[in-house]
């Protein structure tokens, strides 16, 4: 399979006659399953050597399902394996920094899923109430989250290993092709508009700040923010050898499920019960060259996952449709026609007109992302999405929380 032709990377790919890159996965949830599928689809370039999870039983089921060589009882045991070169952290946000530092200390390259880190009350007592965590001064949150991201980047640099940031939008075929055309056209990106939204997570962990470090802007908005920062970084490097960086933000956040009329509406389908996080958020980003980006995340959208990015350039315009897209359109008079067949993420049923996505791992960018990470380890070349990008996303999101709380433009420190 030619990942390079699909917006991925073939730089330093392990050849057919070379040893595969050994991967250890920490976590056994939804995102870990996505990673396992993608590593397994790389034609022998990667091998799942080990899995570690909170419970051995769950890890064993995961290993049997995805053909993982070994089950480890701890992260340290996984990191101690000589056949593991790359540790992929598919764990809750509060574990990102400590596990990154442990993997780096063991000499392993690290993949950390988004967000790179988050404020989940690290500076408070473990028994702190939800209100104390989410009520923390937003400027303190920004300082602490940014410091954690800095520490992760520094730990990997000191250990001589790569910290790779699991932002799939950067690798999505639509975004990759747009980036290629932007480079060919030579135009200036004037503004970008993009967001990710759906009808809301039903996980109780997503509804509390102490577990996630934020709401929709962090969980979902981090995707378009990451893509925008990467596109402007690439434009700057192409033009004058230095990145075009975010310098200021304005923002707004809200919990729209608290609109009073929803209490008496019998057929509302969006998720409710958000404890202390927003289910809608938007941020306007000012870049160092004067261009702008507007990104949003929302748990208020019906009809399945929606992930889009529009780029307005000086000499062209681009629309990236990650989800939904019209590679396939189907119509069924009722839900029973397709039964339990998977259509796309977050859709309720296959009734009516729907857009089943033939290969979400490809269209979302996860497949090319894993290919690039494996290539980076095999070749020693830097991955496209690195720890520095993840660190910048953290700074933008938490500066946005400051801006929303204070109702004004917030400048980003260097």
pLDDT digits (tens, 9 = 90+) for 337-372: 788 887 777 777 777 877 788 899 999 999 999 999
* Pairing outcome for strands 317-323 and 109-113: unpaired
First to last CA, the chain: 41
pLDDT at residue 9 greater than cutoff 70: no
Residue 360 CB partners (closer than 8 Å, separation 6+): 323, 344, 345, 366
SS3 245: coil
Helix axes 222-240, 387-406, angle to 10 degrees: 120
pLDDT of residue 15: 46
138-152, 301-315, 354-368 — which is least confidently predicted? 354-368
- 37: how many CB neighbours lie within 10 A of its CB? 15
In angstroms, rounded to a whole number, what is the distance separating the alpha carbons of residues 84 and 391? Answer: 25
pLDDT at residue 153 greater than cutoff 90: yes
Per residue in 202-253, pLDDT (tens digit) is: 788 899 999 999 999 999 999 999 999 999 999 999 999 999 999 999 999 9
Confidence category of residue 1, pLDDT binned at 50, 70, 90: very low
Percent of the chain whose pLDDT exceeds 70: 96
SS3 81: coil
pLDDT of residue 77: 98
pLDDT at residue 4 greater than cutoff 70: no
pLDDT of residue 266: 86
What is the arithmetic mean of pLDDT over 302-329?
Answer: 92
Per residue in 271-297, pLDDT (tens digit) is: 999 999 999 999 999 999 999 999 999
pLDDT at residue 5 greater than cutoff 80: no
Hey, do 4-168 and 169-367+394-411 end up sharing a CATH topology, with the first three levels equal?
A: no
What tokens were used for 55?
Answer: 């419970």
pLDDT of residue 362: 95
SS3 310: strand
What is the value of pTM for the model shown? 0.92
pLDDT of residue 278: 98
What is the arithmetic mean of pLDDT over 15-25?
Answer: 81
What is the arithmetic mean of pLDDT over 305-320?
Answer: 96
| Every domain of the chain and the residues it spans | 4-168, 169-367+394-411
Element (H, E) at 173: helix 173-185
Which residues share a beta bridge with 353? 331
Residue predicted with more confidence, 371 or 6? 371
Q: What is the CA radius of gyration of the chain?
A: 21
**Closest to 146 (Cα-Cα) out of 376, 391, 355, 410:** 391
pLDDT of residue 328: 81
Quote the mean pLDDT of the chain: 92
pLDDT of residue 14: 45
Per residue in 37-70, pLDDT (tens digit) is: 999 999 999 999 999 999 999 999 999 999 999 9
Fold of 4-168: Rossmann fold (3.40.50)
pLDDT at residue 180 greater than cutoff 60: yes
Percent of the chain whose pLDDT exceeds 90: 83
pLDDT at residue 7 greater than cutoff 50: no
Per residue in 69-81, pLDDT (tens digit) is: 999 999 999 999 9
pLDDT at residue 13 greater than cutoff 50: no
pLDDT at residue 22 greater than cutoff 90: yes
What tokens were used for 364?
Answer: 């979302």
- Residue 329, exposed/middle/buried by CB under 10 A (0-12, 13-18, 19+)? exposed
Fold of 169-367+394-411: Dihydrodipicolinate Reductase; domain 2 (3.30.360)
Helix axes 173-185, 222-240, angle to 10 degrees: 30
Q: How far is CA 368 from the centre of its chain?
A: 14
Any idea which residue has 């720890």 for tokens?
387
In angstroms, rounded to a whole number, what is the distance separating the alpha carbons of residues 218 and 277? Answer: 10
């Amino acid at each position: 399979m030619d990942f390079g032709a699909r917006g991925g990377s073939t730089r330093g790919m392990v050849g057919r006659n070379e040893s595969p890159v050994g991967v250890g996965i920490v976590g056994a949830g939804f995102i870990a399953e996505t990673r396992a599928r993608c590593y397994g689809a790389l034609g022998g370039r990667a091998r799942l050597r080990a899995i570690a999870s909170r419970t051995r039983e769950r890890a064993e089921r995961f290993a049997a399902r995805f053909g993982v060589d070994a089950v480890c009882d701890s992260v340290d045991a996984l990191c101690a394996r000589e056949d593991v070169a790359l540790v992929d952290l598919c764990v809750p946000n509060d574990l990102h920094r400590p596990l990154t530092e442990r993997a780096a200390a063991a000499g392993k390259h690290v993949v950390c899923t988004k967000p790179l880190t988050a404020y989940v009350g690290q500076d408070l007592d473990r028994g702190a109430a939800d209100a104390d965590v989410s009520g923390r001064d937003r400027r303190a949150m920004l300082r602490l989250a940014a410091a954690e991201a800095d520490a992760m980047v520094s730990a990997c640099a000191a250990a001589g290993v790569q910290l790779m940031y699991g932002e799939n939008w950067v690798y999505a075929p639509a975004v990759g092709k747009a980036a290629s055309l932007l480079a060919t056209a030579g135009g200036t990106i004037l503004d970008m508009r993009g967001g990710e939204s759906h009808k809301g997570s039903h996980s109780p962990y997503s509804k509390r700040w102490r577990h996630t470090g934020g709401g929709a802007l962090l969980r979902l908005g981090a995707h378009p923010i990451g893509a925008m920062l990467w596109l402007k970084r690439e434009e700057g490097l192409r033009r004058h050898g230095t990145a075009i960086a975010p310098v200021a933000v304005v923002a707004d956040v809200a919990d729209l499920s608290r609109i009073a009329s929803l209490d008496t509406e019998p057929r509302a389908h969006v998720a409710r019960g958000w404890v202390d996080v927003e289910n809608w958020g938007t941020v306007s980003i000012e870049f160092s060259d004067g261009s702008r980006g507007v990104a949003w995340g929302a748990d208020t959208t019906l009809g399945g996952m929606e992930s889009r990015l529009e780029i307005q350039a000086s000499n062209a315009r681009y629309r990236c449709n990650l989800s939904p897209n019209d590679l396939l359109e189907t119509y069924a008079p009722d839900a029973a026609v397709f039964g339990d067949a998977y259509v796309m993420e977050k859709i309720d049923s296959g009734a009516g007109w729907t857009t089943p996505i033939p290969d979400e791992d490809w269209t979302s960018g996860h497949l090319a992302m894993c290919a690039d990470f494996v290539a980076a380890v095999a070749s020693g070349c830097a991955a496209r999405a690195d720890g520095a990008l993840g660190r910048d996303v953290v700074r933008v999101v938490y500066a946005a929380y400051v801006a929303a709380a204070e109702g004004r433009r917030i400048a980003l420190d260097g």
